Structure 1
Amino acid sequence: MKSTILAMVGALATATLVSAAPAPEKARFDWVEYRGTDGPAAPAGQYRNPILAGFYSDPSILRVGSDYYLVTSTFSWFPGIPVFHSRDLIHWKQIGNAIDRPGQLDFGTLAMSRGVFAPAINHHNGRFYIVNTCVDCGGNFVITATNPAGPWSDPVWLKTVEGIDPSMFFDDDGRAWIVNNRAPEGEPRYSGHRAIWIEQFDPVALKMLGNAKMIVDGGIDPAAKPVWIEGPHVYKVNGTYYLMAAEGGTSVNHSEVILRADKVDGPYRPAPPSINPILTQRDLPAGRAAPISATGHADLVQLPDGRWWSVFLGTRPYAKDYYNAGRETFLLPVTWRDGWPVILDRGKPVPTLVKAPLPAAPAGTTPLTGSFTVRDDFTAPSLGREWMAMRTAPVQPAGGALSLTPGHDGLGDFGRPAFVARRQQHADATVTTALSFAPREGEMAGLAALQNDEYFLTIALTRHDGKTFVRVARRAGKQEPRDGVTVAERPIAAGPVQLRIAAHGGRYDFAVSQGKAWTTVAAGVDATNLSTATAGGFVGTMIGPFAQGLRR
């Protein structure tokens, strides 16, 4: 009896201690400043490419009257699928996110380059449509809205549509079609052998009508074994149907090709080799200065006066094929030659300065390209649309600060860490924050520059062996510790600090300040682990505040 009573008392005492354990202290970020340098502003009447700098890939564009709308991929970042508006094709404002509610899609523990691929936006009879693929999280779907700023509907799944990269086409007779990348009929003949298919779609009931038909097998020259035909769009111009698609993969061999037909379901005939590809940079010297590379995945838009323009993705490597900012959105005029649209003549580099297509119109308050400095003091009731989180909704500011609670999920855990990030939009960029945080043993909080769960750099306050340190860490693959390998660390006194990450191409500097003077913690750290060439995938570097606690 006595032993039983003692056991009960011991259990009660243990439960009391557990329940009384203090909750983790929040990390308070008073502000975050982003500064990027990308040369002088464009002269009057011109614009500078890219029009959306940083990780804005797979652009799809739409004109409704004098308004232009554009969407891009976000993969497993949330909120997803930014929706932009412009009146001049140059100055864009993000007006919403098509995926802005956790209940629309569940990214679970997906890798950061899974999730939503290549959205395509369309409009018909007062209704906006986005058709898209959620890779490893449901397949192909369509969402709709009466206002492109949202709210957008929950996904309607297109279960019979296999593959990726769907887009929608409305014919003059009101019939709708979905065209996308699928596997070819029968067995693929080689690695990367894909096909383009078309299938009729009911835009009212939001369902497929069957009778899918393969209209491109492999690419424009099947004998050459072309790879990764994808990102297709159909247009109707003067009674002729044009099919445009990317070909060659998303790296340096990326290109855009064009075909045409007398009927929407083909047969489609490619443009002659003197025309195709209608956009590529693969023929240019690899060692050229200030290269723009990997161009493709384009979309066309016709202006009210009949002119055509194109948006497409490209990269700006700082060395070889290394780029940390991700795939960006560019804009160029389209020239019609012998009945074919040409975005850029073969052998010509993508120009960075171009004559503007329309009179300048006001832009949003958050810059999207060029040299700029922006500072978020977190005084607004909600985060700006430039902020995202890994797989889940980002934490909202409160009381003029961003407060992050260290949780069990860290940056390297394929989970949902307390991490709020914005795109790195320049090869030369500096991100600074003011942090108040008293870490307990094993906790950390600071700034992270992250490509995905396995490739990142951090500067953070942390505590181990009974002392508080400022630590710089680097992770370059799953073989390394989940918190990265310590590059440098130094003891630091208690109290608020400022932390800074300065990017210079493939080298980053890390510094800390507890007053006016800055102290370098680590300089010239190898940041090529943040490049797609090293980390793989399709995203770009995201930078922002994070906090994490002890693992489960």
Structure 2
Amino acid sequence: MTAVTRRGAFGTLAIGAATAAVPALAAGPAPEPWAKGPEGQRKADLGNGRFLNPILAGDHPDPSILKDGADYYMTFSTFDAYPGLVIWRSRDLVNWTPVMAALTTNIGSVWAPELIKHQGRFYIYIPARFPDRRSTYVITAENIEGPWSEPVNLDLPKHIDPGHAVGEDGRRYLFLSGGDRVALSDDGLSTVGAVEHVYDPWRYPADWDVEGFAPEGPKVLRRGDWFYMITAVGGTAGPPTGHMVIVARSRSIHGPWENHPANPVVRTRSAAERWWSRGHATLVEGPRGDWWMVYHGYENGFWTLGRQCLLDPIEWTADGWFHAKGGDLSKPIRMPGGERVPHGMALSDDFSTDRLGVQWSFQAPGGNETARVVRRDGALVLAASGTSPRDSAPLVCIAGDPAYEVEVEIEIAPGGTAGVVLHYDRQLYCGLGFDEKAFVTHQYGQERGRPANPHGRRVFIRMRNDRHIVSFHTSGDGRSWTKFDRQMEVSGYHHNVRGGFLALRPGLYSAGTGEARFRNFTYRAL
């Protein structure tokens, strides 16, 4: 894939495919057979004509999917991570490969985008918020691989989760959270008129355990004589039984909307199920002409991995409605068919190219973060920023495995501090760093101790997250390793504790003064 260069608030950045993986670490416990797949991405395709969810493991929430001929494209909420809005491509709905990151200009925390194609042009509608303001933006491109335009502000400060639709009148609309809607101009780059309320969503029984009503994520599909609106209600986290998918339909884009008699069509009914808080669905036609839903869910016991992307078969019924066929999605499902593409992406990086791999993003970035990055002599050189992971905008990636370890060689300049981190947000993270004289232990988003560092300014660090038990090993030469005398338990580093809808991501940080050099970042699922 050709790298695409864009200029935005983060400076000039080459965004391309992930760099080649470096050799694997020493063998560990064998994973479950279904989980064994490409590095950093559990394998959905079982190789026997069946697949097992998730189709994209790790933090891939609020999926927006587009069918374009034989190709499928999908993107997700990326919240505080930049570059953001990584676009993925598939031909069978199960095997996915990254194309590029479409958004480099920082417009705030990105929530529930909408990827569409209209009259030969691609659009992504993007709700985003800073602490003091929020709106919905749009970026466009003639080619899915870019270049993508700079964001255009649609001035919608009170809504999230846009869903694009074209009515029987030929006009374009954005359906919004809360059952609201606004008309768009013909070019889709501005709104026309005021926001109007058009739908009162179906309500669940009062005795159900949910986070809150919160109607959001409306997606509108036209099929035959009907427009179908698929909406999420119940809150996206909180109790595992909260989030759900509801459906309404109308003969006209203008309503009235009739609720599905069997709502909700998808819901986690018990905390014993494998997938919790299932919701935020989009319908798509499969390669064989059958139909599917993509939506997100938390894995039972692993809120830390974020909301993962799930694929559920549906069946249309004679009365013009549909129902979901996948049940609780804990069992293998027949493959949709279609051509397979390479699945997932390598998270390991030997830093041998001049391109920032698409697996990397800055968490909670400030201004021109990419100006801090240089590739030099087989190393990633990251200029120091801030004093700790709290304010240094760590460089992180999405882990999709319940158990994994990362290893990296780090060399710091005088006055610098650097290390590895498991980062949720600025207030909640853990990790291990070092300066010239001492290790720096991070836990609960705080510095917890500075024991002596016998290795000086060059240290190898191995961090293992084994189903929420985190441990570290250190070495001065990469051959002889010593277990660090502090282990951690991180199952509480997630949204239901901290808020923010994020996930726990492994990464690198460089703070203090000067710069840090990182060599041979290696990721391995356990």
Q: Which residue of 2 aligns with 1:145?
A: 141
* 1:545 equivalent among 493, 508, 512: 508
Shift of 1:80: 1.1
Q: Distance in 1 between matches of 2:24 and 2:164?
A: 37
Q: Which residue of 1 aligns with 2:255?
A: 266
Residue type at the aligned position of 2:69: G
Shift of 1:156: 1.8
**Is 2:246 aligned against 1:257?**
yes
Pick closer, same or farther for the CA change 1:365–1:309 going to 2, 3 Å. Answer: closer
Shift of 1:361: 1.4
1:533 aligned counterpart, secondary structure: helix
Identity %: 27
Q: Which residue of 2 aligns with 1:408?
A: 386
Pick closer, same or farther for the CA change 1:160–1:315 going to 2, 3 Å. Answer: closer
Residue type at the aligned position of 1:301: V
1:397 aligned counterpart, secondary structure: strand
Q: Which residue of 2 aligns with 1:471?
A: 440
Determine if contact 1:121/1:128 at 8 Å carries over to the other structure.
Answer: yes
**Is 2:304 aligned against 1:335?**
no
Q: Distance in 2 between matches of 1:495 and 1:387?
A: 25
Q: Which residue of 2 aligns with 1:362?
A: 341
2:455 aligned counterpart, secondary structure: coil
**Is 2:189 aligned against 1:227?**
no
* 1:121 equivalent among 115, 120, 141: 115
1:209 aligned counterpart, secondary structure: strand
* 2:328 equivalent among 345, 349, 367: 349
* 2:358 equivalent among 362, 385, 400: 385
Q: Deviations over 1:139-187 (max 9, x none)?
A: 0122111111211112222125731111111245532111011xxxxxx
1:324 aligned counterpart, secondary structure: helix
* 2:399 equivalent among 417, 421, 424: 424
Shift of 1:199: 2.4
Determine if contact 1:344/1:350 at 8 Å carries over to the other structure.
Answer: no
1:534 aligned counterpart, secondary structure: helix
Q: Distance in 2 between matches of 1:411 and 1:546?
A: 6
**Is 2:107 aligned against 1:134?**
no
Residue type at the aligned position of 1:295: R
Shift of 1:333: 1.2
* 1:166 equivalent among 146, 162, 167: 162
**Is 2:50 aligned against 1:46?**
yes
Pick closer, same or farther for the CA change 1:83–1:197 going to 2, 3 Å. Answer: same
Pick closer, same or farther for the CA change 1:365–1:261 going to 2, 3 Å. Answer: closer
Shift of 1:364: 5.3
RMSD, matched Cα = 2.7
Shift of 1:106: 4.2
* 1:517 equivalent among 458, 480, 486: 480
Determine if contact 2:417/2:512 at 8 Å carries over to the other structure.
Answer: yes
Pick closer, same or farther for the CA change 1:330–1:237 going to 2, 3 Å. Answer: same
Shift of 1:279: 0.9
Q: TM-score, normalised by structure 1?
A: 0.78
2:356 aligned counterpart, secondary structure: coil
Residue type at the aligned position of 1:511: H
Residue type at the aligned position of 1:280: R
Residue type at the aligned position of 1:472: T
Pick closer, same or farther for the CA change 1:60–1:506 going to 2, 3 Å. Answer: same
Determine if contact 1:78/1:99 at 8 Å carries over to the other structure.
Answer: yes
Shift of 1:435: 1.5
Q: TM-score, normalised by structure 2?
A: 0.82
Determine if contact 1:58/1:73 at 8 Å carries over to the other structure.
Answer: yes
Residue type at the aligned position of 1:270: N
Q: Which residue of 1 aligns with 2:408?
A: 433
Shift of 1:121: 0.7
Q: Which residue of 2 aligns with 1:371?
A: none
Determine if contact 1:472/1:510 at 8 Å carries over to the other structure.
Answer: no
Shift of 1:472: 2.7
Q: Which residue of 2 aligns with 1:294?
A: 277
Pick closer, same or farther for the CA change 1:43–1:268 going to 2, 3 Å. Answer: same
Residue type at the aligned position of 2:423: L
Q: Distance in 2 between matches of 1:340 and 1:398?
A: 58
In the alignment of these two chains, the number of paired residues is 465
Pick closer, same or farther for the CA change 1:61–1:179 going to 2, 3 Å. Answer: same
**Is 2:67 aligned against 1:63?**
yes
Determine if contact 1:279/1:344 at 8 Å carries over to the other structure.
Answer: no
Determine if contact 2:92/2:286 at 8 Å carries over to the other structure.
Answer: no
* 2:264 equivalent among 245, 264, 277: 277
Shift of 1:138: 4.3
Q: Which residue of 2 aligns with 1:311?
A: 294
Shift of 1:234: 0.6
Q: Which residue of 1 aligns with 2:180?
A: 197
Residue type at the aligned position of 1:57: P
Residues 10-29 of structure 1 aligned to structure 2 (within 5 Å): none
Residue type at the aligned position of 2:310: F
Residue type at the aligned position of 1:325: L
Pick closer, same or farther for the CA change 1:266–1:224 going to 2, 3 Å. Answer: farther
**Is 2:433 aligned against 1:455?**
no
Q: Distance in 2 between matches of 1:450 and 1:32?
A: 23
Which stretch of structure 1 is more off in the superposition, 510-519 or 38-47?
Answer: 38-47
Determine if contact 1:236/1:242 at 8 Å carries over to the other structure.
Answer: yes
Determine if contact 1:421/1:543 at 8 Å carries over to the other structure.
Answer: yes
Pick closer, same or farther for the CA change 1:138–1:437 going to 2, 3 Å. Answer: same
Determine if contact 1:33/1:376 at 8 Å carries over to the other structure.
Answer: no
Residue type at the aligned position of 1:474: Q
Q: Deviations over 1:310-367 (max 9, x none)?
A: 111111133xxx521111111121122342222357xx32235221101441215715
* 2:456 equivalent among 469, 472, 494: 494
Determine if contact 2:71/2:89 at 8 Å carries over to the other structure.
Answer: yes
Determine if contact 2:440/2:448 at 8 Å carries over to the other structure.
Answer: no
Which stretch of structure 1 is more off in the superposition, 237-246 or 398-407?
Answer: 398-407
Residue type at the aligned position of 1:548: A
Pick closer, same or farther for the CA change 1:306–1:106 going to 2, 3 Å. Answer: closer
Q: Deviations over 1:468-506 (max 9, x none)?
A: 123332024xxxx4xx323x7343233632201111222
Determine if contact 2:107/2:128 at 8 Å carries over to the other structure.
Answer: no
Pick closer, same or farther for the CA change 1:365–1:526 going to 2, 3 Å. Answer: closer
Which stretch of structure 1 is more off in the superposition, 353-362 or 85-94?
Answer: 353-362
Larger gyration radius, structure 1 or structure 2: 1
2:162 aligned counterpart, secondary structure: strand
* 1:86 equivalent among 70, 75, 90: 90
Pick closer, same or farther for the CA change 1:75–1:176 going to 2, 3 Å. Answer: same
Q: Distance in 2 between matches of 1:527 and 1:344?
A: 35
Pick closer, same or farther for the CA change 1:404–1:418 going to 2, 3 Å. Answer: farther
Pick closer, same or farther for the CA change 1:497–1:178 going to 2, 3 Å. Answer: same
Q: Distance in 2 between matches of 1:292 and 1:364?
A: 22
